[in-house]
Structure 1
């Protein structure tokens, strides 16, 4: 069966659902198999291409930061399957509320390269129009997006249903009160929300074992929320689990909680040095569970992937990375006073005063002839 079991501190067992093992073997799962029965070879190849492109874009963004072109970048290396599998289960009308790490989800929702880069380059307060992608711009405050998703989900119920809200968050966010409050409200009002926890095992420098003595999936039932723990490096299992939750949400079943067990292969952000708090063997162990390598192994075993296809996917990913770099460097420098734009819908006296004061500050440099106010 496609389940890996984890024993909790009180001796209870949590089943971690899996469809493709780390070595590329297809497993059966009584719950999840039905949700991917329609998946074709073409769909699997598309999932692989998306993961390869996401990894290449992430590597390029990291390089841009190291070269001084970005102020910061939160890498997603190792979490491609969790993001690609879940994103492919969503419909265009569903609304996504993410952290700063779901750049892969944004890419699959249609975010343009410049829109992925502008916040991290410091050129804009947000990357994209949320109503174009049906995806809110990244939330920096840990866990706050779960409240937004629950509120949006409650609005869906009042409007008659049909779509859902998706809240992404990490294992560290589960220690935040916002996450617990949002799950209480979602359960009480049967809001169509998917709480998607990417348990990447490290909340910056703190391991998940210090966050919870139980698997995080054991928390959902306490709120009355059906829960699945899934192998987050298995893109097919993630797709199936998210489809399971989406079906519940769209048919009036209320919220679901998914814990996707994955691993952050890189730093928390490019300002972080993970070698200071985790061992080499841990990284090596998780490298053997790489989400891209396992899907490649499975596709090769089925005769639907070869070296030529691998080269083609790499070329496509390289082209996406080139486009990303060019778009990043070409971003226009914002006018200094534009920092006050779009803060409020209507004029606000405090903001107006701050704008005048900043204008006066800039004019001092203009008077000195150094052109800093331009």
Structure 2
């Protein structure tokens, strides 16, 4: 079927964070929300219909995860990412961040070092420090607007800190890189040389634009599979984060048993009834919607980049290879961090994610969510242009 991504969906009264909590979180009225990674689109029709049928039953008791769900997820991974996985490799978590927390608690001890690669998704910092581990950063390098891994620094950090674990963001949020096979193999080799495990957050794996292709880290080799905790979820792919479901693929039996033991200690064992129904229907029948959605978002991204080049050339943005997030380099405006924030919030009246929340390397940047109606994007960009030149 043909989906209409220009459709206006009134989210008033839905308790959605993006549209109903923006004023409280940003401290300003009348803001246009272009921040949190939450699409403004209705999800796939088969998912909506499956959830409606389940809701109509009127019974919402304890629900187990059926084999058919694991089979659907496995088939999706094989079709989309050319990686055949076994059903018993699949663990469950209510979200990727709880899974990262469980992995840190399982495979490191208090005081151990954990490496992350900023600028990166803000919770990565917290899951390390709030669990009593020491944070080590391996900042990405920016070359001609494109971010790359600093492998020399990464090896030096392992050598000097003895870090036990690395959290990889693949594809990377917020810079939009889709790591190549060569990059992933080099990173995995360094981690293996120093005996470190890798927790790979691949929540944006399905949101990639041609000619780029996402490669699951654990699919690289048997060695990579034996040292990887891979986190996947339908939440970003199908705009269903509120259903709270993540599928954690751990091929190694020992690592898998230990991870599940930690999840059981926290009593994270039961799935939400609707997350089961929504996930299975999305993985079985959501492909058509996703293809159309990606085409629409990529057109939005191209529009935004062209608009910046033509009307706000002081703000630079490199087209992301994956995700629906634009990493705006606002340093050309010549504003302080405070003045830039005031420009966007008080003059432009747009709510973006402040780059500093992604680490010191994000100073002077802001993150914009392009997974919205074109009319919303046009209005947001116009507001920014008018604020810059007023």
Name the larger-Rg structure.
1
TM tier relative to shorter chain: 0.3 to 0.5
TM-score scaled by length of structure 1: 0.35
